[in-house]
Amino acid sequence: MRISDVKVFPVWSGSRNYLVVKVETDEGIYGIGESGLTWCEPAVSEIVLALCDRLVGQDPARKEHLWQVMFRGNFFPGAHALSAAVSAIDIALWDIHGKALGVPVYELLGGLCRDRAVCYTHCGGDGPSGALVDQARSRIEDGWKFIRWGLPHEGNLLEPTRAVRTGIAQFQALREALGDDVELICDVHTRLDPPEAIAFCRAAEPYRPFFIEDPMRSENKSSYRMLRQHVAVPLGVGEHFTSKWEFRELIEEDLINYARVDLCLVGGLTEARKVAGWCETHYIDLAPHNPLGPVSTAACLHLSLASPNFAVQELPVLPGMLPEVFPVQVEWEEGYLLPPRRPGLGVEFDEEAAKRFPYRPAQGPMLRREDGSFTNW
């Protein structure tokens, strides 16, 4: 079997774009992957197409070799746009390999470590605490065991000290309303600098968060040494990282508790499983970052099912979105994703249907402070 073509499909869902990559072979077996660099789909598409010449004619089962060729082949090592392209292609190669052997991808990763993968849902965190509590209660009634919300902001305005006070009030309201059996995750989304991050994490400790996500900006990994000295709450970090090397410092110095590995950005399953094994030696569990579409959900699920050090998987959108484009998807039941029984990822893709949902130019939201300066969304 040889790779015969690599295609890109930016797909508009009604609210955002998803970038799907399809790798075809001369035996008629195809694989699909997804890119994780949201709002930069045209850039990643061009890189995927640029990599095509290196891939056509190659054996798709040589996943590690092809990863090295893609990541290192242009002399400059992978980073965000290149890593997002490599991720999508790599996931598609795993899909092809599973289909060729007639087994789900998790069998290629070592087999099932669990019968199902627990997930967490998203709740809106910008309104009053009462509205957040009502929404969380509704999600718990639907079977969810984990609730996640974002550090609040006021429209497009975020003032750190006010956000910290409101976020702690939300923690208190949720814990008192939901009891001790529901796990709480607050995503700071890199919106705080160290002083406010320390204040927020320390004030959240009595409410027993499962973890605080991305309490500070991600560029300088060393800043987590200082944060870790001051706070005891579990920390979940890593959704911005584009290779195992970017995880190195946080793992080796035991600065985080949960690795928020993004399979559609970090380098696909080939790289993510290396991060997972490295984390296992430091008792760091996986909490895969999955804000994307059905392909990302499936890829994360296979890693979650086959990794002994898995904690929880992000799932803001239930399987079933864009059913015309993805007529077969993985299954969800009362807070858990279930192991696919179909070969490969367990997701099917309709190329012609995808063309009916073409790319639309879109930009992500932006936040500012009261003085007009820019801050992270």
What is the C-alpha separation between 205 and 85, in angstroms, rounded?
A: 39
- What is the pLDDT, as a whole number, of residue 377? 87
- What is the pLDDT, as a whole number, of residue 336? 98
pLDDT digits (tens, 9 = 90+) for 152-199: 999 999 999 999 999 999 999 999 999 999 999 999 999 999 999 999
Q: Strand 374-375 vs strand 313-314: parallel, antiparallel, or unpaired?
A: unpaired
pLDDT digits (tens, 9 = 90+) for 227-249: 999 999 999 999 999 999 999 99
Mean pLDDT of the chain: 96
Cβ(136)–Cβ(123) below 8 Å? yes
Q: Enumerate domains of the chain plus CATH numbers.
A: 3-104 (3.30.390.10), 107-343 (3.20.20.120)
- What is the pLDDT, as a whole number, of residue 79? 87
pLDDT digits (tens, 9 = 90+) for 54-74: 999 999 999 999 999 999 998
Torsion of CA 46, 375, 161, 262, to 10 degrees: 10
- What is the pLDDT, as a whole number, of residue 128? 72
Of the chain, the percentage scoring pLDDT greater than 90 comes to 94
Which of residues 76 and 352 earns the better pLDDT score? 352
pLDDT digits (tens, 9 = 90+) for 261-286: 999 999 999 999 999 999 999 999 99
Name the H helices within 231-286: 244-252, 263-266, 268-280
Element (H, E) at 297: helix 294-306
**Which of the residue ranges 121-125, 156-160, 182-186, 305-309 would you say has the lowest mean pLDDT?**
121-125
- DSSP secondary structure letters along 315-361: -SS-TTSSTTT-SB---EETTEEPPP-SSBTS-B--HHHHTTS----
Burial class (CB in 10 A: 0-12, 13-18, 19+), 351: middle
Q: What is the DSSP letter of 207?
A: G
Total-model pTM: 0.97
Q: What is the largest CA-CA distance in the chain?
A: 60
**Which of the residue ranges 3-12, 124-133, 303-312 would you say has the lowest mean pLDDT?**
124-133
